[in-house]
């Protein structure tokens, strides 16, 4: 399910919302449904970005010491 970013045409409030199936988004600020919708840009962690080079490192998701994608699927996207 994609997450969309919305801007309310009535009050200008900007927000993100996950919409499933035939659900309709409404502004959490004023309740109006006249919205501008666009895809939200996903966050990506790369070795050049700030913070840990491996999103699994220290999280418990990967228990192979120092693997950083070599012993799990973090380094092998499908």
pLDDT tens-digit profile of 45-62? 565 555 555 555 555 555
Enumerate the domain spans of the chain. 3-39
pLDDT, residue 11, reads: 97
pLDDT, residue 56, reads: 54
pLDDT, residue 13, reads: 96
Average pLDDT taken over every residue of the chain: 73
Q: Any idea what the Cα angle at residue 53 is, between residues 59 and 65, rounded to 5°?
A: 50
pLDDT, residue 23, reads: 87
Torsion of CA 29, 24, 20, 7, to 10 degrees: -50
Q: Higher-confidence residue: 26 or 22?
A: 26
């Amino acid at each position: 399910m994609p997450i969309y970013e919305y801007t309310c045409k009535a009050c200008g409030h900007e927000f993100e919302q996950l919409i499933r199936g035939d659900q309709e988004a409404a502004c959490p600020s004023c309740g109006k449904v006249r919205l501008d919708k666009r895809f939200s840009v996903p966050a990506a962690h790369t070795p050049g970005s700030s913070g840990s080079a491996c999103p699994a490192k220290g999280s418990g998701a990967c228990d192979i010491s120092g693997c950083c994608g070599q012993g799990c699927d973090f380094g092998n996207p499908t």
